[in-house]
Chain A
Amino acid sequence: MKLSGLKLRIRAIFKPDTVERELDDELGFHIECETRKLMAAGVNAAEALQHARARFGSIPLAADQCRDERGVDFFETLARDVRFALRTFRRTPLVALTVVSTIALGLGVVTVAFTFFNMFFFRVDAVRNPDELFAVERPTRPGFRGHVPFTWTEYEAIRQGTNVFTDVAAARPSIPTRINGRAARGMFVSGNFFDMLGVTATRGRTLTQADNEDGGRAVVVLTQLGWEKFKKEIGVRMALGATPRDIVRLVVSQSMRPIAIGVLVGGGLAAVTAIVLLSMPAAGMIGTAIHAFDPLAYAVGLGIIVATCLLAAFVPARRAAHINPIATLRAD
């Protein structure tokens, strides 16, 4: 629609009386001109007016055709419909309330569902060949939703004994943990997890098979969100006058933090939540059961994290101490 047409339409919608009067004036003026012309030619007034009208044809029809050109029928009909709907609502408020809340609820549910769908199905494209990924799970009973986690031995057996898959990695998601005293969720994964997914770290490294070694130090890969949180806090503390030494002490004393070995930026996993990916030195704990809930395993897993973090906390603490506060703050 052209701008000029739009202006005229808006005018016709908001000043309908003026526009109607103008239309009457315009057509009336034409009849008057025609009448005068005939009168000038010697026809008497009454006859001239009659002739002028006859020549013009149906004035209401012409007026209607002019109104059609405005193209505001749609808006007029819409306004009428809305008024009618409001009247109906006033008459039956309970029904109206039910209808409105049903629609609102429906929209809300759809929005939430889509948000989750978007999160888990559309955002995994940072992973190499997502359509070639399969989850292997073992239901507690056929048709039930619960899962029995695989043991490390079983995982190894699946990994080495099958040639259906190019590679098999173990993962146990949704492990609650704390970073700097803040609740976060992590995930135990086997060392080949990142290699299998084809995800690389923006800084540092991801996990390797070597991290699977029994008794190896606990390592963590931060997602982008996890890293953003982490580096900001350190930057603020240093800006407040903390010396590198203070920071080391601070982090060590908090010491719930495993050593950060790498950061994933823009990875598909980053979108999910501030997930901390932990490699598991204690081999027996890892299962491939995805979405499995096993409180005992969680408890044992957490215990191991706490123990290993105490040992490992010194390195990130020292690294934190060397962060330039100004640069870090400016980066945010």
Chain B
Amino acid sequence: MTRQTIPDLLPGTLDLLILRTLQPGPMHGWAISERVQQISQDVLQINQGSLYPALHRLEHQGWIEAEWRVSELGRRAKYYRLTASGRRQLAVEASEWERMSAAIDRVMKLA
């Protein structure tokens, strides 16, 4: 099975995936990358080097908030949480994504 490394997939999708992954609750960086890989059944693998710059960017945008907590390993970890404006942004980006993928879908089927 070929693995697709994000963000080579499509520009902007990394942000969308991070926001969506954080929707159920706070998570630290590593957990986010694991979660995406797991849910996508190993098809999507976040480029770990670009995950953290993306997290910091989203934090500066005010879409996610960071908090230091003791992790399951007993070590301090930085947990990220969606903010209210992050939820709004997620809704915008999700609908944009749906529009885009539906469009590509139509072209693939009908062109």
- The residue that A2 contacts in the complex, of B52, B62, B78, with Cβ under 8 A, is B62
Closest to A28 in B: B75
Q: Is the CB of B53 within 8 A of A26?
A: no
Tell me, rounded to whole Å, the shortest Cβ–Cβ distance linking A69 to chain B: 4
A61 part of interface (Cβ distance < 8 Å):
yes
Interface residues of B in 20-62 (CB under 8 A from A): 28-31, 34, 47-50, 52-53, 56-57, 59-62
Q: Is A55 an interface residue (CB 8 A)?
A: yes
State whether A30 and B48 are in contact (beta carbons under 8 Å apart), knowing that A62-B53, A66-B53 are contacts in the complex.
yes
Q: Which residues of A in the span 99-139 have a Cβ within 8 Å of any Cβ on B?
A: none
With beta carbons under 8 angstroms apart, the residue of A5, A57, A69, A70 that contacts B49 is A57
Say yes or no for A8: interface residue by CB 8 A criterion: yes
**Chain B window 71-88, contacts with chain A (Cβ cutoff 8 Å), 1 for yes, 0 for no:** 101011110000100000
Interface size on B, residues (CB 8 A): 26
Interchain nearest-CB distance for A31 vs B (Å): 9
Count of A-B residue pairs with CB < 8 Å: 79
Interface string of A48-87 (1 = CB under 8 A from B): 0000000111100111011011110000000000000000
Number of interface residues of A (CB under 8 A): 30
Chain B nearest CB, measured from A255 CB (Å): 73
Shortest CB–CB separation between residue B3 and chain A, in angstroms? 11
User: Is A22 an interface position by the 8 A CB rule?
Assistant: yes
Contact A32 B78 (CB under 8 A): no
The answer on a CB contact under 8 Å between B50 and A71 is: no
CB pair B59–A4 under 8 Å, yes or no, is yes
For the complex, give the distance between the alpha carbons of A62 and B78 in Å: 16
A97 in the interface, Cβ–Cβ < 8 Å? no
List the B residue with the shortest CB-CB distance to A2.
B62
CB closest chain-B residue, reference A27? B52
Specify which chain B residues have a CB less than 8 angstroms from the CB of A195 in the assembled complex.
none
Task: Find A69's partner among B30, B47, B53 (CB 8 Å cutoff).
Answer: B53
Q: Are A29 and B28 in contact (CB under 8 A)?
A: yes
Point out residues on B near A: beta carbons under 8 Å: 28-31, 34, 47-50, 52-53, 56-57, 59-62, 65, 68, 71, 73, 75-78, 83
Interface residues of A (CB under 8 A from B): 2-5, 8-9, 22, 25-27, 29-30, 32-34, 36-37, 55-58, 61-63, 65-66, 68-71
